[in-house]
């Protein structure tokens, strides 16, 4: 067990912050998490966790807790969004788990947060602590919170999400980039999806200017994200705007009946603009570093935002433990060098995925469809993301490892 003679503060009790606490504990290091909300409440609906992330939870003994509330997804289907024709239907080599060595779980965010926070222990999670400022004296960092209180730490990790205050403290203002897409999200119970073919699969329904992605989560509910391509720039400051009832049908009302049934099954009240952050050359300043969306917020078209936060947590914990107390600079340099290229490659792949899914009818869309029909091609395109093990591997060039 490594001595508790270093004090680590994590800002943000989201997926990344909580996973970091577990990964460090596995290495004998305890942290304090400071979370702005008064109770742990996840924004958004659900999340799909792929093998590059789930192998960590399996390894630390949380498999049974996840199995209780997750849906284990094994088939990926691409369809034409308008006529429902199957473009490609793929499982792994007999199963996803066999192909990639760990599960693909659809999970409600509230369930995920409950499992992680219970495993961390509420005594390490300080709620209603909204960070206002940091003061780095060179030998320690003081965290100042909105409620007037403060805390001291040897090292601070900003896991405070896509609009990170720690990132702003570190870099000054840097704008988020509107990706040209916005959309609608929801969770639909199985009894409202009687038109849905292959309800156990994760499915992309694609077409010109938009797509619907959905997957099963616990109890057979489906989490969906309907993505629509809109003109850039995004016209308002808010990332989430009010939506009128039925707005989601304006563009997709003539798509396949199963699509229409799913996207109109839940009341529509919000439109989510999809933003990302430009990749950074460095994301450490002195004794402060970033993790997850704070470092590399990305659009969700590869379903990798949460998964990359989990990878970050596993790599950062190992680097801190391996370098030991007092060698923060080397540990953080090593962490960044392992994460910069891979997260950048996933960010770019996530953006271009939407471009491919939204092609207008014509030769380019025909070529895309021919490629999506081939199992080897699809597995090859997923493999560099899903087969990666952050605990044991340095990313290869294909996995994003050579981008310095
Ligand atoms: C609408 C939507 C849908 C998404 N869908 C998917 C998906 O299907 N699959 C996927 O992999 N990813 C998805 N993502 C992305 C995914 O949610 C994020 O990548 C992931 O949550 C990042 O984890 P994180 O821990 O870095 O940040 P977050 O989960 O955002 O956690 C940040 C935490 O920091 C806290 N915080 C913020 N500021 C402060 C402060 N000043 N002081 C103290 N605490 C603070 C917040 O309250 C929050 O708890 C989606 C994102 C959104 C917005």
350-385 per-position pLDDT tens digit: 999 999 999 999 999 999 999 999 999 999 889 999
CA of 373 to the centre of ligand 1 (A): 33
**pLDDT at res. 219:** 86
Q: How far apart are CA 9 and CA 157, in angstroms?
A: 6
Nearest CA residue ID for atom 3, ligand 1: 44
144-172 per-position pLDDT tens digit: 999 999 999 999 999 999 999 999 999 99
Nearest CA residue ID for atom 35, ligand 1: 12
- Whether ligand 1 lies within 6 angstroms of the CB of 283 is answered as no
CA of 351 to the centre of ligand 1 (A): 18
Whether pLDDT at 2 is above 60: no
Average pLDDT over residues 387-397: 95
Q: Which of 10, 47, 227 is the best mutation target for the ligand 1 pocket, counting ligand atoms within 8 Å of the beta carbon and taking the most?
A: 47
CA of 216 to the centre of ligand 1 (A): 21
- Whether ligand 1 lies within 6 angstroms of the CB of 17 is answered as yes
Please tell me which of 1-5, 96-100, 256-260 the model is most confident about, judged by mean pLDDT: 256-260
- Atom number, ligand 1, closest to the C-alpha of residue 239: 53
- Whether ligand 1 lies within 6 angstroms of the CB of 183 is answered as no
- Whether ligand 1 lies within 6 angstroms of the CB of 274 is answered as no
Dihedral angle, C-alpha 246, 248, 252, 255, nearest 10 °: -70
- What lies within 8 Å, CB to CB, of 384 at 6+ separation is 398, 399, 400
Average pLDDT over residues 322-335: 93
Query: Residues 254, 264: contact at Cβ < 8 Å?
Result: no
Q: Which of 14, 150, 274 is the best mutation target for the ligand 1 pocket, counting ligand atoms within 8 Å of the beta carbon and taking the most?
A: 14
- Atom number, ligand 1, closest to the C-alpha of residue 48: 9
187-238 per-position pLDDT tens digit: 999 999 999 999 999 999 999 999 999 999 988 899 999 999 988 889 898 9
Whether pLDDT at 4 is above 90: no
Nearest CA residue ID for atom 29, ligand 1: 14
Query: Residues 249, 225: contact at Cβ < 8 Å?
Result: no
**pLDDT at res. 92:** 77
**pLDDT at res. 251:** 93
Determine the 3-state secondary structure of 50 from DSSP.
coil
81-137 per-position pLDDT tens digit: 999 999 999 987 778 899 999 999 999 999 999 999 999 999 999 999 999 999 999
CA of 294 to the centre of ligand 1 (A): 9
CA angle in degrees (0–180, nearest 5) for 133-109-383:
100
**pLDDT at res. 352:** 93
Nearest CA residue ID for atom 2, ligand 1: 44
- Whether ligand 1 lies within 6 angstroms of the CB of 307 is answered as yes
Share of residues in the chain with pLDDT > 90 (%): 86
Average pLDDT over residues 299-320: 97
Q: How far apart are CA 74 and CA 200, in angstroms?
A: 8
- Whether ligand 1 lies within 6 angstroms of the CB of 48 is answered as yes
Determine the 3-state secondary structure of 329 from DSSP.
helix
Share of residues in the chain with pLDDT > 70 (%): 98
More confidently predicted of 220 and 293: 293
Whether pLDDT at 42 is above 80: no
CA of 159 to the centre of ligand 1 (A): 9
- What lies within 8 Å, CB to CB, of 200 at 6+ separation is 71, 73, 74, 75, 216
- Whether ligand 1 lies within 6 angstroms of the CB of 272 is answered as yes
- Whether ligand 1 lies within 6 angstroms of the CB of 395 is answered as no
Whether pLDDT at 174 is above 90: no
- Whether ligand 1 lies within 6 angstroms of the CB of 106 is answered as no
- The residues pairing with 270 across neighbouring beta strands, listed in sequence order, are 242
Pairing verdict, β 131-136 and 141-145: antiparallel
Q: What positions carry a catalytic annotation?
A: 215
Q: How far apart are CA 110 and CA 106, in angstroms?
A: 12
pTM, full prediction: 0.95
- Whether ligand 1 lies within 6 angstroms of the CB of 300 is answered as yes
Q: How far apart are CA 391 and CA 53, in angstroms?
A: 10
Q: Which of 279, 282, 284 is nearest to 350 (CA)?
A: 279
Query: Residues 17, 159: contact at Cβ < 8 Å?
Result: yes
Query: What would the two tokens of residue 298 be?
Result: 């990305």
Whether pLDDT at 404 is above 60: no
Element at 338 (helix H, strand E)? helix 328-357
**pLDDT at res. 44:** 65
């Amino acid at each position: 067990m490594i001595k508790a003679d270093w004090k680590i503060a994590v800002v943000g009790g989201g997926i990344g912050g909580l996973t970091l606490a577990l990964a460090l504990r596995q290495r004998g290091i305890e942290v304090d998490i400071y979370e702005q909300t008064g109770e742990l409440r996840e924004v958004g609906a659900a999340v799909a966790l792929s093998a590059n992330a789930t192998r960590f939870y399996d390894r630390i003994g949380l498999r049974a807790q996840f199995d209780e509330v997750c849906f284990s997804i094994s088939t990926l289907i691409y369809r034409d969004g308008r006529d429902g024709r199957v473009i490609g239907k793929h499982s792994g080599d007999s199963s996803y788990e066999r192909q990639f060595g760990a599960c693909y779980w659809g999970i409600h965010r509230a369930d995920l947060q409950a499992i992680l926070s219970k495993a961390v222990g509420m005594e390490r999670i300080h709620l209603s602590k909204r960070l206002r400022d940091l003061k780095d004296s060179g030998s320690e960092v003081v965290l100042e919170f909105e409620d007037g209180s403060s805390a001291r730490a040897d090292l601070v990790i900003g896991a405070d999400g896509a609009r990170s205050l720690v990132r702003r403290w570190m870099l000054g203002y840097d704008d988020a980039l509107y990706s040209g897409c916005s959309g609608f999200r929801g969770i639909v119970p199985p009894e409202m999806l009687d038109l849905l073919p292959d309800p156990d699969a994760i499915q992309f329904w694609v077409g010109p200017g938009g797509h619907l992605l959905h997957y099963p989560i616990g109890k057979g509910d489906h989490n969906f994200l309907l993505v629509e391509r809109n003109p850039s720039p995004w016209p308002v400051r808010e990332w989430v705007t009010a939506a009128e009832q039925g707005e989601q049908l304006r563009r997709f009302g003539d798509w396949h009946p199963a699509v229409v049934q799913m996207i109109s099954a839940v009341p529509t009240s919000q439109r989510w603009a999809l933003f990302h952050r430009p990749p950074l050359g460095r994301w450490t300043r002195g004794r402060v570093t970033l993790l997850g969306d704070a470092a590399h917020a990305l659009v969700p078209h590869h379903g990798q935002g949460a998964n990359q936060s989990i990878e970050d947590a596993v790599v950062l914990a190992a680097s801190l433990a391996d370098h030991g107390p007092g060698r923060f600079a080397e540990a953080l340099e090593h962490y960044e060098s392992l994460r910069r290229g891979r997260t950048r490659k996933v960010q770019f792949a996530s953006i271009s995925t939407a471009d491919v899914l939204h092609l207008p009818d014509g030769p380019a869309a025909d070529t895309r469809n021919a490629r999506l029909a081939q199992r080897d091609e699809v597995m090859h395109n997923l493999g560099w993301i899903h087969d990666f093990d952050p605990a044991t591997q340095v990313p290869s060039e294909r996995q994003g490892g050579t981008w310095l």
